[in-house]
Amino acid sequence: MKNSITHVSLVLLFLCSFFGMKLEAIEENNRGRWNEPTKEGPDKDVPGYLVNLGPTGARGTLESKSFTVKYIFKESPAEGVLQIDDVITGVNGKAFAVEHRFGHHLTRMREFPDIGYEGPIMDFGNAIEDSEGKDGKLNLSIKRGKKLLDVVIQLEAIGRFSETYPRQCKKSSLLAKRSMDYLSNHPFINDEQCHAKCLSGLALLAAGKTDEVKKLVYSWNTIPKKGIWVWPASYQCILLSEYYLATKDEAVLETIQGLAAVLESGQVEDMANYADRTHGKMGNVGHKFRTGGLGHNTNVGGYGTMNITTALGITAWQLAKKCGAKVDQNKIDMAYDYLKKSTTKDGFIGYHTDACAYSPSGRQGLAIIAHKLGEDSEANRDYIKLAAKGLTSSQKYINDCHADSVLGVSCALIGVNVSGDEKAIREMMDYNKAWLNMARCHDGSYVALPGRDMYDKGYYMSSRMHLTATMALVFSIEQPKLLIQGK
């Protein structure tokens, strides 16, 4: 019966999209995650995957034109002002008048080109900017039971972002330092998954905290066996390489060389060798094993090669080469070719090939980083311009990365800021300014916000460290200390 209902739902979704019918907020309950807490990390006491209400210290669920408060951090600006189940209906004297556009399942992203986060999220985030640029007073219109009230949350008056932020911006510099300070000596970093562990180490390295990074690097200074997933091998290689380039600590060179070799074993050299490959209930997936690509696993398995892991592998290889490691240039060239063949004339980069409706922003940003680390050639410069052009079309979707929303934010923001494309930088940063204000916590950290991909696990993999490290790197990018920052 359950399978039948699921089948009917999918059919209805297809018919609605096919005939142009408007789909309302089909994911409005956040797929049950409003009430699904993370089991570890600094947010384990929060009752679910909620929308962070910026540096107020409150979090809540998102309704059509309101938020309902479901958690308040102790010793935060919201403590003693807001109460659980308060319904926030407006901010700074303006009612939320636009219905939120949060909620569509973005495997069909191209069928919903107007989806952004206009509505309560954008209005609240912009109000934070306005209040911090004045006296810090954030005025909220709330419904508490049957009473309609106006309350004031006192934020810190830290000013506004400059028109060129994150460059030439005092607020960006301040927030970068606070993010780095939050990460410093944080007990959760060593227990984080590879995404957050690598980015946290890079952020600390950018902050000049080399002693802390050394401890993290030395705990990760072991060559993994072949067959390890591409993700941890790549992130480990990236962190160790940036560490060596900053410190010249030769203790990591052997591991860097070993990691580069492990990644080489995960590349598809000829897709013809995988024509008959099958993968569980997915059946034949041989057409998804494309020449030059990397997949999830360095033993070349699963359901095929992917652009995100291929770009990640290139990034690791290029950094390893700069440390003196021997990497087969032919393999790097094949990987670049795979990315180029998976990129459309509009700069869209698909999941396996150039066709896929998952949000491409993470793939586009990481492809820029990978090409930026390569040779300074006309071909690479042209490709970077193309991928940056694609990012301008993806600016609304950076939080909708498949499987890990934070990965999309991280790659998109770092990638666009090293692209050198001022138009792309401004469109990406300016559209997402309100979102970044909403993701910022009262203690200087950043927390993952719910995205629209139904498979997103970003909050549960790393609710804070990954995004906090990302923003530390982005907001300090005017004076880059690392190659991935454009040094």
Where exactly are the structural domains of the chain? 21-154, 170-485
| Residue range 419-457, pLDDT digits in tens | 999 999 999 999 999 999 999 999 999 999 998 887 889
Q: Which of 269, 192, 239, 247 is nearest to 467 (CA)?
A: 192
In this structure, what token pair is assigned to residue 233? 């091998």
CATH topology of domain 170-485: Glycosyltransferase (1.50.10)
- What phi-psi label fits residue 165: left (phi over 0), alpha (psi between -120 and 50 degrees) or beta? beta
Average the pLDDT over 247-265 and give the result: 98
pLDDT tens sequence across 208-228: 999 999 999 999 999 999 899
Residues 126 and 165: their CA atoms lie apart, in Å, by: 15
Of the candidates 466, 445, 438, 463, the one whose C-alpha atom is nearest the C-alpha of residue 120 is 438
- Output the pLDDT for position 104: 64
Q: Which of 326, 308, 309 is nearest to 317 (CA)?
A: 326
pLDDT attached to residue 4: 38
Q: Which CATH architecture has domain 21-154?
A: Roll (2.30)
112: number of Cβ within 10 Å: 19
pLDDT digits (tens, 9 = 90+) for 102-148: 766 666 556 666 778 899 999 999 999 999 999 999 999 999 999 99
Measured in whole angstroms, how far is the alpha carbon of residue 304 from the centre of its chain?
23
Alpha carbons 337 and 466: distance in angstroms, whole number: 30
